[in-house]
Amino acid sequence: MQINHKEPQVNSRFVTNINNTNYTNNLTTTNNTNYNVCVTNPNEEIAITPAGADGLASLSRPLGSPGVPRRGVLVAPADDPPEILPQGWRGLKIDIFNNADRNSEKKSLKVKLGIIKQDGTTQSLIALMNSKVSQLWRSVPDEDRCDPHWITVRNVQERFESLNIDFRASKCCLPNKGGSFTMVLFLLEDENDWAVSIIRKGQQFSYVIEKDSKVTQAQRAGNIVATKFIGKENKRLIDPEEYGI
């Protein structure tokens, strides 16, 4: 996917897994990377965490190359890593809503996550994507900001900012203004796609949703502009009349 831009462009990628974590038969392996975080005293020992900045090497650009456009650019889908789910999730439905006035050029975005657990039960979470990014850190205690999860969140945020990539970010919460979770959602947009990155327990899971994905009339009436399901869907019950019985 290429975006028209007056300045020279380089192909980049909506961020994939920051932890370089691979799941194989529920076995998790993580590549450790050293980097500087939460250093308050230059004489103190540098902190080490698996969520290293170099985990985002796919977004780096050669020295002297032109700047990255303000919106992300996706490489060919064949080059993207497979979309995987966090452990314990059997399925995930992502719905992106634009609740702004239909005649307005502004957007009022919300992302709803419909999580299917391994036992088949479900849990809905929402992320309101219209606040300043600084609000993301509201209510996060200072002592928690140096743990692997929040270090990962900060790395993703700073990486986007350093590359001048437009993004929105929010903590996930329960529907109907329920309590907030530590799980964080990043949302990016370009001409053809949305990209959703979920940061859960210090690991990043990214999903791309094409803007021309099938959205029903009923969904559009409910302000859904894009939707995607990841995982194994249950087979629907069959109406006997379809088989003439």
What type of residue sits at position 99? N
Query: Cα(127)–Cα(153) distance, rounded to whole angstroms?
Result: 15
What value does the mean pLDDT of the chain take? 74
Does residue 66 register a pLDDT over 50?
no
Q: What pLDDT is recorded for position 103?
A: 82
| Confidence bin at 185 (pLDDT 50/70/90) | very high
* Closest-CA residue to 150 (of 200, 212, 99): 200
The pLDDT of 136-159, averaged and rounded, is 95
Does residue 59 register a pLDDT over 60?
no
**pLDDT tens-digit map of 200-218:** 999 999 999 999 888 999 9
Contacts of 194 (CB under 8 A, 6+ apart): 96, 187, 188, 208, 209, 211, 226
Does residue 182 register a pLDDT over 90?
yes
pTM for the full predicted model: 0.68
Among residues of the chain, what percentage have pLDDT more than 90?
54
What type of residue sits at position 26? N
The alpha-helical segments, DSSP class H, found in 126-179 are 148-162
Return the domain boundaries, the chain: 21-230
